[in-house]
Amino acid sequence: MDLLTILRKNRRHILQRPNVVGCGLGWKNQRGGSTGTRALCIYVEQKLPPEELSPRAMVPGRVETALTDVIEVGRVRALSLRTRRVRPAPGGVSIGHYHVSAGTLGAIVRDRTTGEWLILSNNHVLAGGTDGRDTRARAGDPVLQPGAHDGGTVERDRIGELVRFVPLQRRRAPASWWSRVLGVARGLPAEAVGVDANLVDAAVARPNERAWVSPEILGLGRIQGVVEAEPGMRVAKSGRTSAVTRGEVQATHVTMKVYMSDTDPVWFEEQILTTPMVEGGDSGSLLASGDRAVGLLFAGSDRASLANPIGAVLDALNVDLV
């Protein structure tokens, strides 16, 4: 009997098992790679050790003559959820300062001092791209989920308030270490040799209620730690506009001019460059490799995307991932 016939014959019985959310035909995987053998793929929200499963919940190694492969996919949600009001709000949905159109809720983090849960995204998403001296944003400003562009209002959709941000420096291009030394030696002002490039575009907001947010990342699951980016690393993100996309790290320690608007160029250094993964509204998405955070996406073009190193983001805001 062929696999498709076996699948159709047993589909109803398979889907009645606890925790099973889907099934289909695919390749049998072992140790993270395909074996090249066709199998019935059984999709579950969460893989559990055998000792925690009831006999009814156990998936057999074979269904009739077909091999099975149990694959964890998390909770699969309709993509329109990303631009709607969601409580608890996971990473990957629309959010924004009440004067900003909309960006992406990156992740939930924990304040290293107080232990409280905070919402992580970009400065230009949660604080309007402020340099700390202008009037774009200040602590206590309303943060909306969904963002204003997606219909969010202060009266109905205020999920929290801006707590702190890393100011964006709007100055000249960063110079090399040697040119900085020469510049100072020649008596040039520090600004002229470009010592104020940005390392992160990041901010945090305090949710009005802890129960209003979730540490899950929509489509990616729970992030368990951090890892440093390396060229060739496979990565993924979950964003408000383009949902889950996958790509590859192309370069690290990148210095790049980024236009925050058509007339607002800002320099960043020590950044991560990936293949194109983002669209407008995806700013603030967490960049991950497997279940490890790599960076915080904040900019891109049709040829590349740019992310802050996650370690620098967490240190700058004095937080850790939940």
Structural domains present in the chain: 3-72 (3.30.300), 79-321 (2.40.10.10)
pLDDT of 185 strictly over 50: no
SS3 state at 187:
coil
Amino acid letter for position 4: L
Least confident piece of the model among 41-45, 135-139, 190-194 = 190-194
User: Where do we find the tokens 């293949």?
Assistant: 275
pLDDT over 50 at 191, yes or no = no
Q: How confident is the model at residue 320 (pLDDT cuts 50, 70, 90)?
A: very high
3-state helix, strand, coil in the chain (%, to 5): 15, 40, 40
Q: How far from the centroid of its chain's Cα atoms is residue 25's Cα?
A: 29
Position 216, amino acid: E
Q: Output DSSP code: residue 31.
A: T
> What tokens appear for 290 in the block?
């497997």
Per-residue pLDDT averaged across 33-46, rounded? Answer: 86
Share of the chain above pLDDT 70, in %: 90
Listing from the earlier edge strand, what are the strands of the sheet with 94-97?
103-104, 94-97, 142-144, 158-165, 203-207, 117-121, 107-111, 319-321
What are the pLDDT digits (tens) for 155-169? 999 999 999 999 999
pTM over 0.85: no
Q: What does the angle CA 149 – CA 150 – CA 151 come to, to the nearest 5 degrees? A: 95
Let me know the angle formed at the C-alpha of 237 by 252 and 85, rounded to the nearest 5 degrees. Answer: 140
Q: Which amino acid is at 103?
A: G
Given a cut of 80, whether residue 193 has pLDDT beyond it is no
- Quickly count: other Cβ atoms within 10 Å of residue 7's Cβ: 17
Task: For tokens 């209002």, name the residue.
Answer: 153
DSSP state of 137: -
